[in-house]
Amino acid sequence: MKIEILFQDDFLMVINKPSGVVVNRVETEKRETVQDWVEERLGLKDNKGQGLREELTNFVQRTGIVHRLDKETSGCLIIAKTPEAFTELQRQFKARKVKKEYLALVHGFVEPKEGTIRVPIARSHHDRDKFAVTVGGRISETEYKVVKHLIKVNQAQSQKLNQQLITNNQQRFTLLRVFPLTGRTHQIRVHFKYFGHPLVSDEKYGGSLASEDRKWCPRIFLHAAKIEFYHPVKKNKVSVETDLSPDLNEVSKNLKLSTYKA
């Protein structure tokens, strides 16, 4: 498996995780994972902690992978090369010192142009594979900024856009910069579903919209574009970013900037 390394030194690396690749090894995933790739590069092998000092066990079992991205999400992922770097980077995540920025395409025109979604999230009572906004869940917080409003067009429509097209919510989209301040599972996806703007091609949370989306966007439109943290040893601020992935750039060709004012 070929994975682009965006930043690397003796203590850590930041990779550009491809879409379609699972981060952590699971029994249900038969294809190579990021964990397999890292294990081979760093020479680490998970032996369930046998013979290891207690402080090394978590580092080896996680193969230095500090956090995770969903299978279809692409972009910046931090991997520690030493137990000390792993522990310090995890501490920064828990203390909310790590700043993450995503690019997301969602249904509808998002208003206001910037804001914060702050609601409790817990595992869904109806589907244990999903998460939902639930009373008694853990508070989760996501900030966002609108990049641009877009409309989906085909070749015949590209020359002349009409009012019917731009007022059809299924043809209206917003490209967002999204900043999760907490790190709950599926947080961005759950928040924008709750906000009434599910992510494009999100089969888990997008409902019937996702089926139509998949005809022109083959995977969820979510990309971890930037990550910022303090170096675990040198203590300087490290900022790593990556452009929108080629597959999502191709999807963008189906969209045109909207001049419609909601």
The residues annotated with a catalytic role in the active site are: 70
Q: Give the phi and the psi of residue 12 in degrees, each rounded to 5.
A: -160, 170
| H-helix segments, 109-224 | 155-158, 163-166, 187-194, 208-213
What DSSP state is assigned to residue 199? B
Q: Is 52 exposed, middle or buried (0-12, 13-18, 19+ CB in 10 A)?
A: middle
Say if residues 231 and 238 touch (Cβ distance below 8 Å). Answer: yes
- What is the distance, to the nearest Å, from the Cα of residue 58 to the centroid of all Cα atoms in its chain? 23
Distance CA 189, CA 48 (A): 33
Say if residues 137 and 118 touch (Cβ distance below 8 Å). Answer: no
Residue with the two structure tokens 């999100």: 202
Distance CA 153, CA 255 (A): 6
Considering all CA atoms of the chain, what is the largest pairwise distance in Å, rounded to the nearest integer? 69
| H-helix segments, the chain | 34-42, 54-61, 83-94, 155-158, 163-166, 187-194, 208-213, 246-251
Beta-carbon neighbour count of residue 250 at 10 Å? 12
Q: Give the phi and the psi of residue 193 in degrees, each rounded to 5.
A: -65, -45
